[in-house]
Every structure is written in C-alpha cells, then in structure tokens.
Amino acid sequence: MIIVNTHEAKTNLSKLLTLVAEKHEIIKICRNGKVMAELVKPKSGKASPGKLPVIPELTGVVFKEPVEAPLPEEFFPDYTL
C-alpha cells in the first residue's frame, strides 16, 4: 500500500496508475492526513455501468450529442492542423 497526498497524486498520476495496473498496488490519496480516495485495480478489466453511483444533482441531465463526440471547433480558436 502506498499513501500519497493530493498534490503528489496529481503530479504522478500516470506512474501511480501503472503501479496499480502492473503491480496490483493499492494507492491511498490523502488530504490533510485523511484518506479521501483509493486507487485499486478492478477485479475485471471492464467498467460495470450498472454499479456506478447515482448523483442526484445530475439526475435529468441529457447530453445533446454522444459523450464521445469531438468538441466543436470554437473551443480551439487558435489551433490549426
């Protein structure tokens, strides 16, 4: 088990995820000395959509386009290919 603070978790997220995925480490993320979250490898490699938590504030939110849809070009006015 590895314990990190939130700043360290943000800075090293990719490395921490690699430890979880390849070494089956459990990462505990703390804020002010209290555990706020844990990173653990799921039992299966697939997400289980039926077990996601319900967030009351988002009940009734409807996306007009699929979540996977690219962002409109007006979000990137200075970006050109």
Q: Is 21 contained in some domain?
A: yes
Does residue 3 lie within any of the structural domains?
yes
Q: Who has greater pLDDT, 66 or 80?
A: 66
**Torsion region of 64: left, alpha or beta (phi above 0 gives left; psi -120 to 50 gives alpha):** alpha
Beta bridge partners of 43: none
Q: Is the pLDDT of residue 45 over 80?
A: no
- Say how many domains are in the chain: 1
Residue 61 included in any domain: no
Specify if 12 maps to a domain: yes
Q: What is the mean pLDDT of the chain?
A: 82
Q: Does residue 71 form part of some domain?
A: no
The CATH number given to whatever domain includes residue 38 is: 3.40.1620.10
Residue range of the domain that includes 34: 1-42
* Per-residue pLDDT at 62: 77
Residue 15 confidence (pLDDT): 95
Does residue 13 lie within any of the structural domains? yes
* Percent of the chain topping pLDDT 70: 78
Q: Is the pLDDT of residue 74 over 90?
A: no
